[in-house]
């Protein structure tokens, strides 16, 4: 910063509002993307609880299933799923920012850079769905 | 449609005001007028005390950046008509100290820019007998990042810079990256020392607005994410070959 003399009045220093992310839609979208990490962590913990219930026997697992069927848990999980999807899609779409910028010496379209992530995601979802439906 | 438009312009007199306020002016709405033309009309016809920066009027000098309706914008290449019927709110660039009206203090940016050494650094006694040959592919690797005009719109769009003024910021990192990618340059390690600190690339949380507002399509966000990759690779190299030359 410049050194001010008594004849050179100080500049006005703006301060950011604590609610800056509400100013514009793209900042809000960013804040939602960042906060979606919380729901990813929630699903990880939920999966660990589910595995623990599974290991603890049929009675405990039935209790876990009953808990998951209650309306409040269904609402919480639906909201968490929405944030989970937002998290995955926004981060997959950011892949072209860092990786696979070029293929065979030519610039790669953004969708092509993101595609492997979506393919792995889709493949894993199908395998897990078949497993839980008892097909595998 | 009305043939005038209201410009709400930020006013701040450091000698008498505690903070900026907005003053409204009615200016002609002509199809070929930019926002800057509206400001010049105010200065020439309505209030000669209005302070703002501009020079080239063709998107080259980077001095006419302001917040127009809350978005960092080059006022010399943005049509006033885009905001009809108005009003249009014009303020100083966000996150910088305001010196007067629409003029901000860019010392912080200029100091950071100098720190990242945005010029070709050579370690040897480089006195080529002929010009340095650079292939089109080598040029292409950094060309996009060399288009920066130092307008600092990306700083005004970056909430990270607003929250942490120590952040080196988008344009300075993009320019450091530009010279790292230049086949004539040997300064990558010197720059890495500065740019790979926490207040450098790792402060960036990929908001991405810097790239959206950049009038020259420099894509500083891409430069920062690529720089993170370079820094990680260099870190692994120094970890695996602590004594090696990398
Ligand atoms: S990167 Fe773009 S927005 Fe930032 S200073 Fe350079 S030209 Fe301006
Ligand atoms: S006056 Fe030079 S960029 Fe606008």
pLDDT digits 0-9 by tens, B143-162: 999 999 999 999 999 999 99
Q: Which residues of A touch B162 (CB under 8 A)?
A: 16, 20
Every domain of chain A and the residues it spans:
21-132
Exposed / middle / buried, residue B33 (Cβ in 10 Å: 0-12, 13-18, 19+): middle
Of B149, B176, B210, best ligand 1 pocket probe by most atoms within 8 Å of the beta carbon? B149
Please tell me if the CB atom of residue B56 comes closer than 6 angstroms to any atom of ligand 2.
Answer: yes
Q: Which atom of ligand 2 is nearest to the CA of B54?
A: 1
**3-class secondary structure, B28:** strand
| pTM to 2 decimal places | 0.87
Per the CB < 8 A criterion, the answer to whether B81 and B29 are in contact is yes
Please tell me if the CB atom of residue B120 comes closer than 6 angstroms to any atom of ligand 2.
Answer: no
CATH architecture under which domain B107-240 falls: Orthogonal Bundle (1.10)
B70/A23 Cβ within 8 A: yes
The domain A21-132: what is its CATH number?
1.20.1300.10
Residue B57 binned pLDDT confidence (cut-offs 50, 70, 90): very high
> What residue of A is the nearest CA neighbor of B20?
A12
Ligand 1, atom 2, lies closest to the CA of: B214
Residue range B4-104 in CATH 3.40.50.720: no
pLDDT digits 0-9 by tens, B59-110: 999 999 999 999 999 999 999 999 999 899 999 999 999 999 999 999 999 9
Burial B161-176 (b: 16+ CB within 10 A, else e): bbeeeebbbbbbbbbb
Every domain of chain B and the residues it spans:
4-104, 107-240
Please report the DSSP string for chain A in residue order.
Answer: -PPP-TTSPPPB-----TTGGGSSHHHHHHHHHHHHHHHHHHHHHHHHHHHHHHHT-HHHHHHHHHHHHSHHHHHHHHHHHHHHHHHHHHHHHHGGGTS--EETTEEPPHHHHHHHHHHHHHHHHHHHHHHHTT--
How near does any CA of chain B get to the CA of A10, in Å? 7
């Amino acid at each position: 910063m410049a050194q001010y003399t008594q004849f050179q009045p100080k500049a006005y220093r703006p301060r950011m509002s604590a609610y800056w992310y509400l100013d514009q839609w793209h900042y809000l979208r960013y804040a939602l993307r960042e906060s979606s990490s919380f729901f990813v962590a929630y699903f990880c913990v939920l999966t660990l609880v589910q595995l623990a219930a599974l290991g603890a026997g049929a009675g405990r697992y039935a209790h876990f299933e009953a808990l998951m069927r209650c309306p409040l848990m269904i609402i919480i999980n639906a909201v968490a799923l929405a944030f989970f999807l937002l998290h995955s899609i926004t981060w997959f779409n950011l892949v072209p920012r860092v990786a696979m910028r070029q293929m065979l010496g030519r610039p790669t379209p953004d969708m092509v850079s993101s595609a492997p992530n979506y393919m792995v995601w889709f493949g894993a979802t199908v395998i897990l769905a078949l497993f839980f439906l008892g097909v595998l | 449609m009305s043939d005038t438009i209201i410009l709400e312009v930020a006013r701040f007199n450091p000698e008498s005001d505690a903070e900026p306020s907005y003053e409204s002016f009615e200016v002609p709405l002509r199809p070929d007028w930019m926002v800057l033309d509206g400001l010049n009309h105010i200065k020439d016809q309505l209030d000669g005390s209005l302070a703002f920066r501009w020079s080239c009027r063709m998107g080259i000098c980077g001095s006419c950046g302001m917040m127009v309706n809350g978005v960092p914008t080059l006022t010399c290449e943005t049509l006033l008509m885009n905001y009809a019927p108005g009003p249009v709110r014009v303020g100083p660039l966000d996150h910088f100290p305001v010196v007067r009206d629409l003029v901000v203090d860019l010392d912080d940016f200029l100091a950071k820019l100098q720190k990242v050494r945005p010029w070709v650094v050579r370690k040897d006694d480089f006195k080529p007998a002929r010009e340095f040959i650079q292939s089109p592919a080598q040029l292409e690797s950094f060309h996009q990042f060399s288009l920066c005009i130092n307008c600092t719109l990306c700083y005004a769009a970056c909430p990270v810079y607003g929250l942490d003024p120590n952040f080196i910021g988008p344009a300075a990192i993009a320019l450091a990256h530009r010279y790292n990618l230049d086949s004539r340059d040997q300064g990558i390690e010197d720059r890495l020392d500065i740019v790979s600190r926490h207040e450098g690339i790792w402060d960036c949380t990929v908001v991405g607005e810097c790239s959206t507002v950049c009038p020259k399509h420099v894509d500083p966000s891409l430069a920062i994410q690529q720089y993170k990759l370079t820094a990680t690779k260099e870190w692994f190299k120094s970890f695996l070959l602590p004594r090696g030359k990398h």
